[in-house]
């Protein structure tokens, strides 16, 4: 279903099970496939492919799904795979995200809202990118990893464990979290008090002599929703965290 308000450029194809929202723009050579539901005001640049079959040898053509929110910018040659039956059956992308050229979002991934995935950032299957996170250029993220809210991953960083919310993580520092994403958080409206609280929490994690369990105990005793979110993220981590 394609509303009249949408602009479909030359050589673009839209599958029969695709539902497109209002005011979307397909510039040219865009492929929308599968059981895909797309919100309003999304812009698709040339040669991007959305809702395509997953790169999973176990996939047998099941009618799995892709969901995309509103106001996303999906640049050249981005690929977004539909879900798999064993992975929950759906790949989700939220709203107001910037997916730069050659980004790959694998099957059963969840990308929140307000995220930036820079050129050639690659999400293997089952990855969870929380709201307002940034994944740097040429950064692959391993299956089942979670990147926390407001995290910033520097370019060329290989991510094989969960990335702490609010953190600045980079391959230049041997794949370590070396503090909070201070500039990004300030741009998002974080007050000085919130930043100071987070800096204190990260000192427990990254620069004290405490182990993770001891640092977590200290963070649990701190006031504020940010410290609570950080503690809950660490407690729920399945793959371990990058410290």
First to last CA, the chain: 47
> pLDDT-derived band of residue 207, with 50, 70 and 90 as boundaries?
confident
114-133, pLDDT tens digit by residue?
A: 999 999 999 999 999 999 99
Q: Is the pLDDT of residue 177 over 70?
A: yes
Residues involved in catalysis: 107-108, 125
> Rounded to whole angstroms, how far apart are CA atoms 30 and 21?
16
Task: Give the per-residue pLDDT at 1.
Answer: 81
What's the helix, strand, coil split of the chain in %, to 5?
20, 30, 55
Q: Mean pLDDT for the chain?
A: 95
pLDDT at 183: 92
- CATH no. for 7-129: 2.160.10.10
Q: What is the tens place of the pLDDT at every residue in 85-98?
A: 999 999 999 999 99
Supply 26's token pair.
Answer: 């397909």
Q: Extract long-range pairs of 112-120: CB within 8 Å, 24+ residues apart.
A: 112/149, 113/69, 118/155
Q: What is the pLDDT of residue 179?
A: 87
At residue 175, the pLDDT reads 63
The domain segmentation of the chain, as residue ranges, is: 7-129, 184-236
- Residue range 155-166, pLDDT digits in tens: 999 999 999 999
Same fold, 7-129 and 184-236: no
Does domain 184-236 match CATH 1.20.1180.10? yes
175-183 average pLDDT score? 83
């Amino acid at each position: 279903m394609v509303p009249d308000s949408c602009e479909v450029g030359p050589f673009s194809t839209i599958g029969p099970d695709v539902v497109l929202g209002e005011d979307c723009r397909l510039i040219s050579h865009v492929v929308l496939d599968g059981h895909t539901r797309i919100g309003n005001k999304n812009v698709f640049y040339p040669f991007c492919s959305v809702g395509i079959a997953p790169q999973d040898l176990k996939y047998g053509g099941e009618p799995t799904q892709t969901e995309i929110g509103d106001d996303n910018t999906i640049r050249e040659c981005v690929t977004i795979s539909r879900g798999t039956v064993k992975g929950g059956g759906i790949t989700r992308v939220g709203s107001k995200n910037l997916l730069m050229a050659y980004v790959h979002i694998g099957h059963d991934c969840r990308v929140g809202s307000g995220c930036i995935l820079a050129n050639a950032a690659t999400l293997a299957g089952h990855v969870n990118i929380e709201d307002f996170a940034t994944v740097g250029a040429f950064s692959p993220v391993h299956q089942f990893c979670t990147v926390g809210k407001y995290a910033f991953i520097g370019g060329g960083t290989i991510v094989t464990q969960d990335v702490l919310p609010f953190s600045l993580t980079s391959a230049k520092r041997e794949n370590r979290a070396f503090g909070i994403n201070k500039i990004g958080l300030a741009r998002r409206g974080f007050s000085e008090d919130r930043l100071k609280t987070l800096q204190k929490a990260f000192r427990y994690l990254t620069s004290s002599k405490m182990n993770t369990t001891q640092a977590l105990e200290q963070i649990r005793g701190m006031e504020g929703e940010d410290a609570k979110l950080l503690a809950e993220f660490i407690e729920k981590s399945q793959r371990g965290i990058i410290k």
